Amino acid sequence: MEKNNSRYILLLIILIINTIYSYLFLRNTETIIISFVLFIPVAIYGLKYKIDGSLIFCMLAVCIANYILYGIEHFISYSMVVILPALIISYLVREKMPFTKLISLSSILLFASFLGTIILLKTICDVDVLTTYFNGIDIIEKEFTNIYSTYFNNNTNSIKEYSIAIGTLKNTFYYMKYYYPALLYLLCLGISFISILCISFIANKMKINNFGYENILGLKVSRSIIGFLMIVIIAKALYLNGKSNLMVAIDNILVIIVVLLFFLGILFEMSIIKRVRNAGRRILLILVSVFCLIFFQAYFVVAGFIDSIFQIRVKLNNA
C-alpha cells in the first residue's frame, strides 16, 4: 500500500511539473534549456517502477491537453522536444550503460528529436523554425549594432575601434547562423549531461541504485572520434568551396569535436590537479589553468586531444 502511495505521489509530481512546464514552454520556448526538470522525475519513476501504462498515460494526457488548448503546433513541439526525450532518457538510464555512452546516445537521440520537430512543424504546420531563428538573430544584431553605434559615437572618435567592434559583433551573429546545427547539438549535449548527472545523483541518494556516475573525470572521447576529426580536417583542407552544404556540415562537425576536446582538456587538467598532493604546486597549477582558460583556450583543446589519443586519465586511474 505504501509503495502504491509513493508511486501515485510521484505520478502526481510528474503531472504537476509537466503541466507547469508545458505552460512555460508555450510562453517562452527558451525554457527548453531547463527541460531536465521534467526528465529527472520521469527517469526516477522509470527506475523505481519501470515505464508502465500509468506513466505513459500521464504524459499523453498533457500532450492531448496541449493539443486541445493550444493547437497542433504546440502539441508537436512539446511532444517531440520534451515528452519523447523524457521517456527515452528514462529508458536509457534503466539500461545501466557506461556514463560516456549514455551521454553520447541520449544527446544524439535528443538532437534527432529536435530535428524531427523542425521537419514536422515545416511539413504539417508550415512553420519554418530556422527562418524564425535567423530572423530573430537579424533583429538582435540590428539592436546591438544600434547600441554599439550610439556608445562609440558618445565615447570615442576612433573609426578603427568602431570598425573592429562592429566587425566582431557581425561575425558573432553570422557564426550563430552558420553553426546552428553545432549549437543545437551542443545544447542537446548539455541538457543530456545535466539531466543524467542529476538523475544518477538523486537515484543514488534515494538508494534506488548505485550507477557510479559520480566520476565525471572519467569522461572520454573514443579514438575513433579523433580519427574522424582528422578526416574532417583533411576534408576541410582539400575541399575549398565554402558555399557548399558539405562544407557547412564539415565546419559544424569540426566545431562540435573541438568543443568536446576543450571540455575533455578541462577534465584532464582537473584530474592532474586532483592527483597533486603538494598544496603549493596544486595552487600553482590552478592559477596556470585559470590563466589558460582566460587567455589561451587552445591549450585545453590540445590537452583533450592528447588525452584522447593516449588515454592518460584512464592510465592514471588504473595506476
Cell match 589561451: residue? 296
Band (46; pLDDT cuts 50, 70, 90): confident
State in Å, rounded, how far the first CA of the chain is from the last one.
49
Q: Which amino acid is at 168?
A: T
CB atoms inside a 10 Å sphere around CB 158: 11
The answer to whether 221 touches 308, Cβ cutoff 8 Å, is yes
Q: Extract the C-alpha cell encoding 140.
A: 538582435
Q: Measured between alpha carbons, how far is 20 from 35 in angstroms, rounded to an integer?
A: 12
Residues in contact with 44: Cβ distance below 8 Å, sequence separation at least 6, in sequence order? 10, 199, 202, 203, 206, 208
Residue in 8, 200, 239 with CA at minimum distance from that of residue 96: 200
Name the grid cell of 107. 544527446
Determine the average pLDDT of the residues in 180-192.
Answer: 87
Q: In this predicted structure, what is the pLDDT of residue 295?
A: 85
Phi-psi region of 272 (alpha: psi -120 to 50; beta: other; left: phi over 0): alpha
pLDDT at site 289: 87
Summarised one tens digit per residue, pLDDT across range 27-37 is: 776 677 777 78
Contact 87, 51 (CB under 8 A): yes
Residue 233, amino acid: I
Q: What gap in Å lies between CA 82 and CA 59, rounded to an integer? A: 10
Residues 6+ apart with CB under 8 A from 78: 22, 25, 26, 62, 63, 66
Domain definitions of the chain by residue range: 1-214, 217-319
Burial 177-209 (b: 16+ CB within 10 A, else e): ebbbbbbbbbbbbebbbbbbbbbbeebeeeeee
Region 166-191: what's the mean pLDDT? 85
Grade residue 230 by pLDDT with cuts at 50, 70 and 90: low
C-beta neighbour count of 248 within 10 angstroms: 15
Residue 24 has pLDDT above 70, yes or no: yes
Biggest CA-to-CA distance, the chain? 76
